[in-house]
Amino acid sequence: MFLATVPKDKNAALFLCLEIVLGIVIVCLPKIISVKFDLYLPPMIYGFFLLFIFGAIYLGTIYHFYRIPYWDKGLHLISGALLASFALALFGALVPKEQQELPPGFISLYATAFAMMCGVLWEFYEFTCDSFGMNLQRYMANGHMLVGRAALMDTMGDLIADFIGAVVFAAVAFVQIKKNDSWMQKFFFHKN
């Protein structure tokens, strides 16, 4: 199964193996941290996380689902929601409890902005990797460099998908927090 997907290029094969090993470590990391520090791991955040990693590494990289049109965009939708939900967890960890009474609109805006900042940082990472010929931004089609607007399509599509995923999550958060201001506490990390 795995051997059938190994690229013929030695560097690409090494990068694939590194990505798979890092994927396994990344999947285990939240549970390890949760057990080691006796922390509650919010199920919705962990669920988004597992869905994203499964789609990106297992299906996307190993089984080449990235060849399916818009697969990458779907993952960016999930990552936008994941990062917006993680923003709520950070809010709970960094803002003292007595100062957490903020308007739902502000909290939703913060979650969206946090997700977008992370999306931009990810695109910086892809851009940097592409400086070493890795083509993460899909700027080459069939070995030919794309120019002008065509070269920006992958990056802008990723950022738009991140934004949509974050806004959908933030809209749900807005409605839920309006109904019940303690709703977002289910995203908070805390001691068991």
Name the band, by pLDDT with cuts 50, 70 and 90, for residue 1: very low
User: Would you state the pLDDT for residue 2?
Assistant: 46
Report the mean per-residue pLDDT for the chain: 87
31-59 pLDDT, tens digit per residue, is: 999 999 999 999 999 999 999 999 998 89
Predicted local distance difference test score (pLDDT) of residue 58: 85
Residue 144's pLDDT band, with cuts at 50, 70 and 90, is low
Listed in sequence order, the residues at least 6 apart from 164 whose beta carbon sits closer than 8 Å to its beta carbon are 77, 80
Strands, E, within 146-186: which ranges? none
Confidence of residue 4 (pLDDT cuts 50, 70, 90): very low
Instruction: Place 23 in a pLDDT band, splitting at 50, 70 and 90.
Output: confident
CB atoms within 10 A of CB 25: 10
Q: Give the tens place of pLDDT for each residue, 97-120.
A: 888 889 999 999 999 999 999 999
Tell me which residue range forms the domain holding 27.
3-181+183-191
How many separate domains does the chain show?
A: 1
